[in-house]
Amino acid sequence: MASNSTDSQGFSLWTALGCRLLSLFLGLFSLANAQDADLFIGSEIYTYLERWDIRAYSDTFLPVETRPWAREEAREFILRVDTARLHRLDKARYKRALFQLLDSLPKRTGPARWLFPNRRDLIEARTSWGYLVIGPLLHLNAGRDSAGTLYQNTRGAYLRARLGKKVGLYADFLETQARPPIFITDRYNTYQTLWGEAFVKVLSPRTFDYNNSRGYITYTPAPPVRIKFGRDKAFWGVGQQSLYLSDYGPEYLYLHIRTRLGPFEYHNFFAQFVDFIPNKPDAWGDQPRKYAAIHQLLWRPWRGVSLGLYEAVMYSPWTPTGRRGVELTYFIPIIFYRSIEQYLGSPDNGFLGAFGRANLWKHLQIYGQILIDDYNFSKRKEGKGWWANKYALQGGLKIIDAFLPTLDFFVEYNQVRPYTYSHSNISNAWTHYGQFLGHPYGANLSELLLAFRYQPVGGLTLEGRYLHLLQGLNTASQNWGSSPFVSDITYVQPFGNRLLQGERVIRRLFMGRVVYQPFLQPAYVEVEAHWRDGVPALLGGVRWMITPKPLRF
């Protein structure tokens, strides 16, 4: 009897504990935030929120280390901004950001109230279970450079929806005809890919036709967890450039799982990339795939301070011994990829790194990043400059409200050692669709970036940027480590390698942009001028709901 009584008490205890855990689990589900799509990468709203984060206008943190951000995260931050502390010019920015981020906006009245009912989206439908909005995307510009007329004609549409409080949907489609500046055309002639785009049709030696689309679903099963699956792009890093995952290439398929527990934030990122074959005949079938997995751990001990570690691996389903398919081991959420790579016989391209940022005195932000593709300390005993000691460094400074209100300055230095991002198997190089996933110009380079942003009056923004890039290029017969599209086992010398070895080139870019947003709506009139290596260009145009692409230099 005593035994039965003890068993009964134990069963009751486990039952009570199980019910308690179940109720807690269900409670977390019921408390999940309303889910929505992401904020476009490149949106000017990012710049607003970052400067307010450095100025400590809000009492919550901002996830500046990974983009895109969820719209609800941006909304939560902006709604907690102390508007009484904002300068009058920042208040103009605040109104514009609020108009673009809020889900519920005042409705229009009159006979045409069904068209742009909230003055932002073309069509809006709301029910008790969620909402759906559809709207246009437009980017038209024209200009000239030394080789003739330039233009871009982009039209499209987007769909954004929320289902209940946990599911978000997004899709868009863009059709473009463009005649870009001559240095972008020159790059196409070299790599057979147009920067930032996938498949393109060549209408003339300098004119292209292409389309692209994004589409994904987001799901928040509990407040700490957010899951995103679909076709989009990402930018990871605090700086102007990212050394390990930038947004210069075209979109790709990925699964992103973000988990937050107190001051810690953990990311799982699994992506499918394209191992691009230039001028591939249709009879060969589709473009081959390759895959990447990334882990990133963030620690935010205080608001405005973060430290992070990350690791990544790129692998091809094909090896010299045959096809192995998708490597399921890399899908383990928490594991050290380097140990797995060695366990598999080291057939893949792995790297790891660290980064950090700190906001100081409500006016400054300092940040840095290191990426280690490969490094062997024992080789230093044999000589200096071993070819496979591959790494990249970044350091930067942001100065907010430098001399005038809303005048911000940025300084950044990037250095990428020879042979970084490359691998003995070219398919494992850190690339996607013939474009670089890390620094947009590959490796064996040193770069200085200076920039400013100023808002003299509400709705008007002035931007300027100077890039000074030194790079050592491969020659026709020697691989000095500038391009990941060349196998790194073709290195020239085992020791004595140094930064900028090979055929040294200098690239300089001056860029100025004037952007005017006359109303709260996401409509922009802009003029852009740039000078690259002695070749000037001027472009002017309008856009609606489309964000400017990363600077192509």
pLDDT in tens, 185-201: 988 998 999 989 999 99
Peptide bond into 418 cis (omega under 30): no
195-217 in b/e form (b: 16+ CB < 10 A) is bbbbebeeeeebebebbbebebb
Average pLDDT, the chain: 90
Residue 479 DSSP label: B
Taking alpha carbons only, the member of 113, 53, 155 closest to residue 542 is 155
313 three-state secondary structure: strand
Question: Which tens digits make up the pLDDT trace of 377-389?
Answer: 888 889 999 999 9
User: What are the backbone dihedrals phi and psi of residue 210, each rounded to the nearest 5 degrees, phi first?
Assistant: -155, 160
Q: Which residue has the higher pLDDT, 474 or 345?
A: 474
Query: For the residues of 146-215, what is the DSSP string, one character each?
Result: TTEEEEEEEEEEEEEEEETTTEEEEEEEEEEEEE--HHHHHHHHHHSS-TT-SSEEEEETTEEEEEEEEE
Of the pLDDT bands very low, low, confident and very high (cuts 50, 70, 90), residue 551 is: low
pLDDT at 344 over 80: no
406 Ramachandran zone, left/alpha/beta (phi>0; psi -120 to 50)? left
Alpha-carbon distance of 359 to 362, in angstroms, equals 7
pLDDT at 16: 45
Radius of gyration of the chain (CA): 25
Alpha-carbon distance of 197 to 212, in angstroms, equals 7
Tell me what the mean pLDDT of segment 204-212 comes to: 94
Of the pLDDT bands very low, low, confident and very high (cuts 50, 70, 90), residue 34 is: low
Question: Which tens digits make up the pLDDT trace of 446-474?
Answer: 999 999 999 999 899 999 999 999 999 99
pTM: 0.91
User: What are the backbone dihedrals phi and psi of residue 427, each rounded to the nearest 5 degrees, phi first?
Assistant: -65, -20
Residue whose structure tokens are 């790579």: 341
Dihedral angle, C-alpha 30, 32, 33, 36, nearest 10 °:
-110
- Classify strands 431-432 and 435-436 as parallel, antiparallel or unpaired: antiparallel
Question: Which tens digits make up the pLDDT trace of 2-16?
Answer: 444 444 444 344 444
Question: Which tens digits make up the pLDDT trace of 145-168?
Answer: 988 999 999 999 999 999 998 999
User: How far, rounded to the nearest angstrom, does the alpha carbon of residue 206 sit from its chain's CA centroid?
Assistant: 28
Alpha-carbon distance of 127 to 371, in angstroms, equals 48
pLDDT at 279 over 90: no
User: What are the backbone dihedrals phi and psi of residue 22, each rounded to the nearest 5 degrees, phi first?
Assistant: -65, -45
Domains in the chain, start-ordered, CATH in brackets?
Answer: 31-544 (2.40.160.130)
111 Ramachandran zone, left/alpha/beta (phi>0; psi -120 to 50)? alpha
